[in-house]
Chain A
Amino acid sequence: MNKNRSKEYDVIIIGGGATGAGTARDCAMRGLSVLLVERHDFATGATGRNHGLLHSGARYAVTDHESAAECIEENMILRKIANHCIEENDGLFLTLPEDDIAFQSQFVDACSSAGISTEIIDPKLALQMEPSANPDLIGAVRVPDGSVDPFRLTMSNALDARLHGTDILTQHEVTDILKEQDRVIGVELFDHGKKEKVNYYGKIVCNAAGIWGHHIANFAGVNINMFPAKGSLLIFGHRVNKMVLNRCRKPANADILVPGDTICLIGTTSERIPIEEIDNMYVSKDDVDVLIREGVKLSPSLATTRILRAYAGVRPLVAADDDPSGRSISRGIVLMDHKERDGLEGFVTITGGKLMTYRLMAEEATDLICKKLSVDKKCETASIPLPGSEKSEETLSNAGNKIYTGASITQKSAKDRHGSLAHKIANGDSNEDSMVCECEGVSIGEVKYAINELHVNNLIDLRRRTRVGMGTCQGELCACRAAGLLCESMEEAGKAKDDLANFLQERWKGMSPIAWGETINEIQFTSWIYEGIYGLKPENN
């Protein structure tokens, strides 16, 4: 085992979700030397498994004032620093005949006290603004909700962290926390690529692993009382709605419909699960049925809209330290200095919170880390834009003047996905412009850019960077094309075949809970192509 301590980082951050990547960025911008480690890929935990809702905070206004106020503040910040990850769609809170219209005024008051702007909209006008809304609605309130792409957001933070000198290791899983007496000195990692263990050392280790932080804390010999709450969602095959749709009532199951990119999402359910199940998320038949039943109330056309996938994420809820039963659960940000809490120096945990508050969580964690290292530098993440987010000179109106050729479809999609970094994608020659994924307009150039610059280890990573295989065919044809390109760059065809098989399995996991209608037809077709014609079977590779 490597005992070389010549390279000691100021801080090692565990977890490649939004919080981990955000903390890495913040620490690096304050001049610290940073190592970010992630066991799989960026945004594979709760970060990538939620609505992608840019909360205005209105949802929490009545029940949780503090969260609501945090949300609206971060909402306005993200619009400035991450505009390429965000769609400013606005949201409507609908009152349906079965809901109490009296709640509306309570809701509007609570919003305004949290600093969230609201506008009561006449039901008829609301239907004109959002034709997909339930036509029986009796009340509507407009709020500054939006959509955020969590994969892009996380990747942009990681990219900026890297630009500020952060070292990044994906596919590296923490297998132990290294200690000397009452002090954490580093991490033991298992490198999934090389299949070997390796040690890294740092003055501070920051546990930003979401629900998996439970295990990380155990490695360090401390206990955090975490309660995993599973939330399931469904993805529909196209954008039914333009605006985010919510129910104007106390938060409940399946009452948010969020449009994003080419699709829309309904969610979530909420269910406590045992900690042993956090790596085995499945969506049950009952979850699916509830989501559809409630979703149809927001937008009746969902009843006949094709469902692409079902998926579930785990919220990391933390019980108060004096309440091991978990009855008094905080949904807010939890920052722990384990020196104060457990007498263990050099170890910090940042958890709880939500995607919306990742930047604030990163700021609070970094403030603590800086304090421990006696670094006195102010946080700038609220004002300096993320890479890709710089306002582009090409506005929508002059884009419309262009004649749309095939190639400009891929260029426009690339611009949507990578913002001002899209210029890094080679284009303009027929090789680079060739389309890999027709559903989502992904070109060879974009795939190559992702492989070369965005830490792509396999096809599933590639999907999160580019949307390859996220469209209506769920990778039926493009997976093989992308696998071919990945294989060219990695020059390891055997691995690429395994990778393709894993990709199909991963797609299957999301499709099987909702595989009826067109989806079961596609699945049958996909099986025939890959297994029937290509002879792709895990045992053949």
Chain B
Amino acid sequence: MKFDNIIIGGGLSGLTCGIKLAEQGKKCAIVSSGQSAIHFFSGSFDLLGKVNGEEVTNPLESMKFLPQQHPYQRVGLENIERLTDEALHLLIRAGLSFTGKADRNHYTLTPMGVMKPTWLTLNDFTSFDQKDSFPWKKAVILNFSGFLDFHTLFIKDGLKKFDINAQIKNVSMKQFEAIRKNPSEMRSTNIAKEFDKGNAIEEFAQKANLLSEGFDVVILPAVFGLFNKSVADQLKEKINKPVLLLPAIPPSVPGIRSQITLRERFQELGGTYLLGDNVEEGIFEDGRLLEIRTNNHGDIKFEADQFILASGSFYSKGIVATHDKLYEPIFGLDIDGDNNREEWFDEKFFNDQAFMRYGVKTDENFRALMNGEPVQNLFVAGSVLGGANPLKEGSGAGISLLTSLHAAEQILK
């Protein structure tokens, strides 16, 4: 099979890259092994939340303090503002409504009740302008009886810092009795599926309205709308108080919905999405990747003019660690990281962990290096790139979106 471009990895980077290329008329395929980091999406995309331990208010301004090997520096700071704008519009065209600005972080409330700076927030969720004030006085936190993945007491404790004495109330509904009977079924996606059917929305909204009498805001777990995209909006319309959704323990319902939305956009643009498939190997000639073979397709070759590796970090198996080395498992590309495992970790869990910065080595145009030489038509994007600790910086989604758009631009040049 012959494509213009083949993207390895169906997460945020792979899909962004695929959509961008397909929008420009390229014939694209994405090979995805399955779930991705979007499945634990918090509701927001971060661009840059911290530099050198200092909280950032204007990410575009603060990027100049990042080290030279950082993906943003390598994309070129002169390109960043344009790419952030493009990322937002690509998401909106796909049908995901996000709000936010690249030159000024806003805040979202975490399930620990802490305000966290971020860039783009999905409209299910609530953006705050200030980190030290909460716009409502009386809050009620509603949870589903038996749902263990939403930590109301932590939220209540966090809100105390804003002088809010929140109340916690539970909602029981017969629609959830069946899933509650099985001890491991009362999880976010199963609750979402009940709401997707449509017969729980009205009753839940009525209960929420009763329980929120005398309160200014209703706080709920973000478990609405898995396949049925309108559930969250319908609820917000029927509940007569402002609704503040907070993430529950993964899998994230809005995350899965966003992934599906992006995949559908890619497919509507004519893209081929191979789900549940793994790239096994590549055939190289004269410094170019000619074709790849996948697990599900056996002898069928996949050829393309350019390839994009967007296979993610360790948890997506874009990079693999053994007791004595790190490697890139598909092609054996060069790794920017230390093979000595004593260098990977700090003894304190919450400290900066070196392994978080490890990734595939590239040249200045984001072409993968193999034995020190760039592969002419193999570009690298997203968290499989090294050079940043996205967790400490609050830069994970930004790096995925911007490096994949940048890679697409290199191809489209």
Contact = CB atoms under 8 A, between A and B. Distances in A.
B249 interface: yes
B330 interface: no
A505 B346 CA distance: 11
B153 A505 contact: no
B264 interface: no
A452 interface: no
Given A406-B183, A480-B249, A508 B110 contact: no
Contact of B323 (A292, A494, A504, A533): A292
B127 interface: no
B92 interface: no
A5 to B, nearest CB: 41
Interface residues on A, range: 35 or more
What are the 7 tightest A-B residue pairs by CB atom distance, in nearest-first order? A493-B157, A535-B110, A508-B349, A435-B183, A535-B114, A516-B321, A430-B180
B65 interface: no
A97 B395 CA distance: 55
Interface string A481-504: 101110110000110110001001
Nearest to B383: A524
Interface stretch (A326-334, A385-393, A436-444): A436-444
B37 interface: yes
A420 B258 CA distance: 49
A480 to B, nearest CB: 6
Nearest to A532: B391
B146 interface: yes
A533 B353 contact: no
B349 A504 contact: yes
Interface stretch (B233-241, B287-295, B337-345): B337-345
B181 A430 contact: yes
Interface of A: 282, 285, 288-289, 292, 405-407, 409-410, 430-431, 433-436, 438, 443-444, 477, 480-481, 483-485, 487-488, 493-494, 496-497, 501, 504-505, 507-509, 512, 515-517, 520-522, 524-525, 527-529, 531-538, 540
B75 interface: no
Q: Which of A407, A501, A521, A534 has the most CB of B within 10 A?
A: A534
Contact of A521 (B112, B146, B314): B314
Nearest to A536: B112
Interface string B315-358: 10100111100000000000000000110110111100101100
A538 B146 contact: no
A497 B154 contact: yes
Given A484-B151, A524-B314, A438 B184 contact: yes
A534 B154 CA distance: 10
B52 interface: no
A430 B355 CA distance: 42
A41 to B, nearest CB: 20
B149 interface: yes
A481 B188 CA distance: 13
Contact of B151 (A483, A512, A527, A528): A483
Main secondary structure of the interface of A (DSSP, over half): helix
15 contacts: A289-B323, A434-B146, A438-B184, A444-B148, A477-B149, A480-B151, A481-B249, A487-B154, A496-B154, A512-B347, A515-B321, A520-B321, A522-B315, A524-B355, A527-B353
Q: Which of A407, A431, A484 has the most CB of B within 10 A?
A: A484
A515 B350 contact: no
B145 A524 contact: no
B110 A533 contact: yes
Contacts of B321: 515-517, 520
A531 B145 contact: no
Interface string B370-404: 00000000000000000000010000100000000
A406 B184 contact: yes
Contacts of A520: 314, 321, 344, 355
Nearest to B184: A435
A310 B185 CA distance: 32
Contacts of B184: 406, 434-435, 438
Given A285-B341, A481-B149, A516-B322, A540 B40 contact: no
Contacts of B42: 532-533
Contact of B40 (A430, A480, A508, A528): A528
A304 to B, nearest CB: 11
A410 B153 contact: no
Contact of B146 (A409, A431, A487, A540): A431
B20 to A, nearest CB: 25
B153 A496 contact: yes
A497 B180 contact: no
Contacts of B263: none
Interface in B141-197: 145-146, 148-149, 151-154, 156-157, 177, 180-186
A235 B387 CA distance: 33
B247 interface: yes
Contacts of A532: 42, 391, 396
A533 B44 CA distance: 9
A540 B114 contact: yes
A436 B184 CA distance: 8
A100 B6 CA distance: 59
Contact of A515 (B148, B183, B345): B345
B111 interface: yes
B245 to A, nearest CB: 13
A524 B356 contact: yes
B270 interface: no
B116 interface: yes
Nearest to A507: B349
Contacts of B323: 288-289, 292, 516
B350 A501 contact: yes
A481 B186 CA distance: 12
B149 A487 contact: no
Nearest to B349: A508
B153 A484 contact: yes
A275 B323 CA distance: 31
B391 A534 contact: no
A521 B329 CA distance: 14
A322 to B, nearest CB: 41
Nearest to B186: A434
B121 interface: no
Given A435-B184, A528-B40, A533-B40, A494 B350 contact: no
A518 to B, nearest CB: 9
B313 interface: yes
Given A497-B154, A497-B157, A527-B353, A509 B347 contact: yes
